[in-house]
Amino acid sequence: MASMHGTVALVTGAGSGLGQAVATGLAREGALVVVVGRSPARAEEAANAIRRLVPSALLEPLACDLSVQSSITAAAADFQSRHSKLDVLVNSAGVFRKERQVTPDGLELTFATNVMAYFLLTNLMRDALRNAAAAAGTARIVNIASRYGNTKLNFDDLQTAKGRYSFLRSTPPTMLARVLLTQEFAKRLRGSGVVANAVHPGLVRNTSLLKDVGGPFRLLTNTFGAPAEKAADTALWLATSKETAGVSGKLWAKRKELATPGMGSDPEARRRLWDACTGLAHLP
């Protein structure tokens, strides 16, 4: 792993599990890590947890409810008031929900957190990422995603409003959406020095991600999942290695590129999703 001294990183989902392991790894290498938590108290708790592991860590807590667009916009403005550049953006936050919930923006909670937060925060950080790339030659976007199997996006029901809701219907399409958005960011940022890649971390042991669904799924991850520190390896490699400085638009697992079959290789699906997210985020 390359030294990160003098760099600025921002990690969502840093309060526990994989996100915290990624933030800890970046801090251990000397980056100033902006640690995102849902509230000021949660962000401070996350920073303190990392500091216990890395006493010399350079950390800044940043409060942001990633399910609420006004909170994302405010957090981006807060970051930009203190930093002109962002060398590494790691989008790691996510949710699984057994029941359908609606955010203050009128969006289904899983879609809002797992897709719209990635889309909006990354767009708001584009200038800071470009500034970092102009200064250092590269900046990195790392999106935690997943293999998505035969999943397809239903563009007539992106927010699982039709039919019976379940996390098995709502969550897998958001993983495909993350892959598609990663590819589209890579395309739109081509030539800027900013690269974007997605990571399939596999099962992660003792993750809080499944606390709402529990049951056999949580038992499965705790039995067969990897420790968060091990699962974070590929994300950290993409965020720091000279090997990956020019690689963009790919899905990775265990430092190997994965195929993106089906809709995951469809440029029209990427465009439609980008346009839908742009409208929902009220971006020009």
Mean pLDDT in residue range 208-227: 54
pLDDT of residue 213: 47
> Is residue 1 assigned to a domain?
no
Is residue 117, in this structure, part of any structural domain at all? yes
Mean pLDDT of the region 192-208: 83
Mean pLDDT over the full length of the chain: 92
Q: Does residue 224 surpass a pLDDT of 60?
A: no
How far apart, in whole angstroms, are the C-alpha atoms of residue 215 and residue 221?
11
Q: In what order do the strands lie in the sheet with 8-11?
A: 58-63, 32-37, 8-11, 88-91, 139-144, 194-199, 251-253, 256-258
How far is the CA of 76 from the CAs of 14, 62, 113, 125, 182, in angstroms? Answer: 16, 9, 16, 7, 19
Task: Report the distance separating Cα 25 and Cα 238, nearest Å.
Answer: 12
Nearest to 181 by CA among 244, 245, 117, 225: 117
Conformational region of residue 24, where left means phi above 0, alpha means psi within -120 to 50, and beta covers everything else = alpha
- Average pLDDT on 87-111 reads 94
Among 193, 192, 225, smallest CA distance to 207 is for 225
Q: Is 224 exposed, middle or buried (0-12, 13-18, 19+ CB in 10 A)?
A: exposed
pLDDT of residue 273: 98
CA distance 46 to 198: 23
In a domain, 273, yes or no: yes
d(CA 263, CA 135): 36
Q: Is residue 2 part of a domain?
A: no
Residue 3 lies in a domain: no
Quote the number of domains for the chain.
1
Confidence at residue 222, expressed as pLDDT on a 0 to 100 scale: 54
Q: For residue range 239-281, what is the model confidence (pLDDT) as tens digits?
A: 999 999 999 999 999 999 999 999 999 999 999 999 999 999 9
268: Cβ contacts below 8 Å, ≥ 6 apart: none
pLDDT tens digits along 44-79:
999 999 999 999 999 999 999 999 999 999 999 999
Print the domain residue range for 33: 8-281
Query: Which of 13 and 211 is assigned the larger pLDDT?
Result: 13
Specify the pLDDT at position 214.
53
Phi, psi of 35 (to 5 degrees): -100, 115
* Helix 40-53 and helix 17-28, axial crossing angle in degrees, nearest 10: 50
User: What backbone phi and psi angles, to 5 degrees, belong to 97?
Assistant: -135, 135
Is the pTM higher than 0.85? Answer: yes
CATH number assigned to the domain comprising residue 168: 3.40.50.720
Given a contact cutoff of 8 angstroms between Cβ atoms, the answer to whether 12 and 36 are in contact is yes
